[in-house]
Each structure stands twice: as C-alpha cells, then as structure tokens.
Structure 1
Amino acid sequence: MCRWLVYSGTPMLLDTILYKPAHSLIDQSLHSKLGVETTNGDGFGIGWYTDNDDSPALLRDVGPAWNNRNLREVAEHVRSPLFFAHIRASTGTAVQQSNCHPFRHGHWMFMHNGAITDFHLMRRDLTLLVDPALYADIEGTTDSEVMFYLALTLGLDQDPPTAVARMAGVVERVGRDHGVELPLQMTLAITDGERLWAFRYSSGHKSRSLFYSSRVDTLRRLHPDVAFLQGISEETRLIVSEPLGDLPGAWNEVPESSYGVIQPGADELNTFRPEPV
C-alpha cells in the first residue's frame, strides 16, 4: 500500500508541505504509522498545476523519496496552489516509472492507495472495458492506472463522483465474477485542476486511513501562535493518508464509504456507493 497527500489553497512551495512537517510525507516514506507497510520505497511522484497551464506537470521516479536530490531541488523552487504527492509500496506490479503515481490524462490527475484484489485474474476483463480511444494512453501495469482509465471511460469529464462510483461497481462485478469476495480497497484523489475529489471506500468497509484538515479559521482560533496558519487563505485544505503532525484539532478522519469535494466556496462531504453498470 502507499501514502499520499493533496494540497489545495494559497500557492505554496512544495517543500513546505513535503519536507517541513514533523511527520511529513518524506518521513512517512520511512516511518509510516498507519500504512500496511512501515516503509514506502517503491517509487514516488509529484504532480502540480501552475497558473499558466491547464495540464499538470509530473515528476516521478522509481527510487525512494527520502534520498532523491531531484525531488528536493524541485520542491524548494516550485510553488503551486494545487499539488499531489505520492510514495509507493507496490502490491505486486513492477517497480517502474510508468507505475508511479500520480497519473495524468489531459487536465486530469489521479492517485490511489489500495488494491484490486487478485488483479492478475481480472486485468484482461477490466482493460477491455476501457474506451478504445483511451486504451493506447495506458503506459503502466498497475491496477490503479486501469481504475483511472475506467473512470475516464465512464464519464469522469461529465460527473466525477458518478464515474468513480461506476468504476467501483465494475471492479466489484468483475471481481465477483472471478470468485473474489472483496475485490476493491481504495482511497483515491482526482482533480481537474480546479476542483478536487477524494474517496474512501472498500468492498469490506474497512478502508485504508484518510484524513482532511480542519478549516483554517478554526485552526487559527485554536493555535494563534502557529505562523504558518496566518499566511494562508481560509480555503486552504490538505487531504492525507495519515496526519502530518499532532497539532490538536488539525485532522479529521474521512468517514468510511464517503467522498469529499474541495472547491471554491463551500466544500462537500457525501456518502459513496458503487453504482452498477
């Protein structure tokens, strides 16, 4: 399994979020507290948007995040209002650059923690359900990338929550056709560069950990001495596989079988259910 985070809000140097917190994602790559594995060293990736381009930039590599000089260099110089970061612990597919998250298609970006159980049994059936016009763009061999392209096939551009619900429904149907009782385990993030959707779901309703940050105005009242909170907008949010520190009141668990939407104005938290296709 993997660890990931999303930042959305006031443009920020990636270094501020990736390296500086007490339990940063880089620290989690060696010392994860809530993941299946303590160490997540099977590659990493970051993806970010700028004001000048609709399509996100990506930096991905197969080595561990904790000693990658290029990642450190980029993080100290790139500033973005929306970025994804992911550290990988492979569930069986190859350690190669094309298997590192985030994945990108046009203006969309996607990353995942979890697995399709017995994916090797379902790979052919699931990939054949991907729109032929999209199929050639699949570069790697992971279940995660297939999930992304299934969501694109099933209407991600029109209605992201419904597309993900249909994708989950397809995975569960195909899995059970192959005798897999609990086919899907997922926490995933998707963005179009403007809005962000984060999902927590598993077939057995025992999903991997996922947390979101409290409202900035609430944190300022609780912690008026924390300088970081004074320089960010009230719409700034983080979603993380596990908290970046132990600041009281900072983190809230995403409920089981739910999804959140981070967007201009009011954010949302809704129930998530797979949808039959």
Structure 2
Amino acid sequence: MCRWLAYSGSPILLDSVLYRPEHSLINQSHRARMGVETVNGDGFGIGWYSAEGDGTPAVFRDIGPAWNNRNLQELSAHVRSRLFFAHVRASTGTAIQQSNCHPFRHGRWMWMHNGAITDFHRLRRDLCMAVDPVIFPSMEGSTDSEVMFYLAVTYGLDQDVPGAVARMAGLVERLGKEHGVPHPLQMTIAVSDGERTWAFRYSSVRKSRSLFYSSKAETVRQLHPELEYLRGVSDETRLIVSEPLGDLPGVWNELPEASYAVIPSGTEDYLPFVPEPV
C-alpha cells in the first residue's frame, strides 16, 4: 500500500513536515510502522497550492524512492504552501511510472489514495465506462486510484464532495458484488479544492488502513512548546497522515472506521461515511 500526508494551515516550507519530524513521511517511505509494506519506494509525489491561494495546484512526481531524491529535497526546502499533499507509493500491481504516482490533479482538485480495489483488473472496464466521456481523455495512468478520482469527479465532486465519494464507493461495491468480489474496496483518501481538504477512511471489510489527524495547533503548542515549526502557525493548522509523524502524546487522533473529516471546519467533529448506491 502507500503512506501519505495532507497539510492545511499557515504557509510553511514543505520540508518542515516532509523531512524534519522524527517519523517523517520520508522516514516512512523506507521504514513504515503501520503499513502493509514497510518500504514504499515505487515512486512519490507532492502537490501544493500557492501561498496566495490562486490557481490550480502544482504537482511534482517521480518513479524513484522519495528517500534519495535530491530534487524533492531541494524543492521542499524552498517551496512554501498553505495546503499541500505528499504521497509515497507501494504499487499494488500497476506499473511504476510517473502517471501512476499520486497526487492526481484535475482542474483545481487534488486527490491521493492509500488502499486498493480488489481484483481491479476484473472491474476496471465497467468502472472506466462509468467515467464521464468529457473528462475520460484526461486520465493518464492505469491505477485504480486515478479511476476512483475521475469517478468522483463524474459523480459531482464540484458540488458535493462527500456525496461524490460515496457514490464512487457505491459503484465499486455494486460492481464487486456483480463480479463475485465480496470486499472490493479499501481506501483512505484525501481530496482538496485548494480551500478545504476532505479525508475519508473506509473499507468494504471494515478493516481500513490507518489514518490520523492532528489536534488543534493551539493544543499541541501547549503540550509541546519545543516544536519550533508550530510557533508561528494559526490555530486552524492541521495535518492528516497515514501514520503519526512522531510519538508525542496528545498530538494524534485516529479517524474512526467508516468516517470522514473536513479541514478547516471550525469543529473537531467527524462524520459517518456510507457508500451510496448508484
């Protein structure tokens, strides 16, 4: 599977999160603690919105491992962003190529995924046929993750993010049943329009991959004043991660099974996630 993180809040240098924490995403790329695979070296990607908040996100992806990519280290030490995604990949069977690396982008939207559609090769044709023909040519890769993204766009991501993801999941589960795949979907997903980020945790078998969100920055500062990068950020600054970036108590909260969260939202609440039949 994969490891990923999503940051939202005051503009910071990307390397503050990607490299500096004790158990950073770069560390997780070759030493994951909670993933199915310890090593996530089948490519990586970062995507970020400008600090000014205008335009579509920039994306940088490559097929090598993140831990020894000098361009990634150089970029992350100089790019400052208020909302960014980062992903390290462990392929579930599709090719190792740039177009299969996360995050994926369509217009202002950015998407990344950890998990898989079981027996994707059996469901792939029917899933792809459900993608809006207008946007179908924009798909570049061969992963289940990208198909899931374009299905969500097809089902109204612009108007209703949770509803679009629920309808995508409902289609996967219906087709899985039709093709004799009893538990077809495993997913933790992050999706953003540049203003808000939605994070989803769900699996057909109800044993989803790990996903955590950070406590409010104000709370973390009070608990751990030694964390320098938090001193100047807003209270709304949050992180969502596949696994915690360190072992400090009071910082990380597990997102419950079959739920989703939105940041910023002005609340600590998460909401139930239920696939919607289509």
TM-score by length of 1: 0.98
2: distance between equivalents of 1:19 and 1:73?
11
Deviation at 1:173, TM superposition (A): 0.3
String of CA shifts for 1:140-184, please: whole Å, max 9, x gaps. Answer: 000000000000000000000000000000000001100000000
Aligned pairs for 1:24-63 within 5 A: 24-50=24-50, 51=52, 53-63=54-64
2: distance between equivalents of 1:112 and 1:23?
20
Answer whether contact 2:6 2:241 (CA < 8 A) is retained.
yes
* 2:16 is aligned with 1:16: yes
| Secondary structure, counterpart of 1:28 in structure 2 | helix
Answer whether contact 1:7 1:84 (CA < 8 A) is retained.
yes
String of CA shifts for 1:86-111, please: whole Å, max 9, x gaps. Answer: 00000000000000000000000000
Answer whether contact 1:130 1:149 (CA < 8 A) is retained.
yes
1: distance between equivalents of 2:229 and 2:78?
18
String of CA shifts for 1:12-53, please: whole Å, max 9, x gaps. Answer: 000110000010000000100000000000000000000263
Answer whether contact 2:259 2:273 (CA < 8 A) is retained.
yes
Answer whether contact 1:197 1:259 (CA < 8 A) is retained.
yes
Q: What is the percentage of aligned positions where both structures have the same residue?
A: 70
Q: Which amino acid aligns with 2:28?
A: Q
Q: Which runs of 5+ in 1 are unaligned?
A: none
Answer with 259-268 or 215-224: which moved more.
259-268
Answer whether contact 1:115 1:184 (CA < 8 A) is retained.
yes
Answer with 62-71 or 264-273: which moved more.
264-273
| Secondary structure, counterpart of 1:224 in structure 2 | coil
Deviation at 1:267, TM superposition (A): 5.3
Deviation at 1:229, TM superposition (A): 2.5
Aligned pairs for 1:1-277 within 5 A: 1-50=1-50, 51=52, 53-263=54-264, 265-266=266-267, 268-277=269-278
Answer whether contact 1:262 1:268 (CA < 8 A) is retained.
no
Q: Which amino acid aligns with 1:44?
A: F
Equivalent residue pairs, number: 277
Q: Which runs of 5+ in 2 are unaligned?
A: none
2: distance between equivalents of 1:52 and 1:270?
27
Answer with 6-15 or 44-53: which moved more.
44-53
Q: Which amino acid aligns with 1:8?
A: S
Deviation at 1:231, TM superposition (A): 1.4
Answer with 101-110 or 227-236: which moved more.
227-236
2: distance between equivalents of 1:16 and 1:220?
16
String of CA shifts for 1:160-214, please: whole Å, max 9, x gaps. Answer: 0000000000000001100000000000000000011000000000000000001
Change (3 A) 1:256 1:200: same
Answer with 220-229 or 242-251: which moved more.
220-229
| Secondary structure, counterpart of 1:208 in structure 2 | coil
2: distance between equivalents of 1:33 and 1:96?
25
Answer whether contact 1:3 1:86 (CA < 8 A) is retained.
yes
Deviation at 1:216, TM superposition (A): 1.4
2: distance between equivalents of 1:199 and 1:210?
9
2: distance between equivalents of 1:133 and 1:106?
13
Change (3 A) 1:219 1:52: closer
TM-score by length of 2: 0.98
Change (3 A) 1:182 1:81: same
String of CA shifts for 1:46-105, please: whole Å, max 9, x gaps. Answer: 000002632000000000000001101100100000000000000000000000000000
Q: Which amino acid aligns with 1:17?
A: V
Q: Which amino acid aligns with 2:27?
A: D
2: distance between equivalents of 1:143 and 1:166?
16
Q: Which amino acid aligns with 2:183?
A: L
String of CA shifts for 1:232-274, please: whole Å, max 9, x gaps. Answer: 1100000000000111111000000000000263354100000
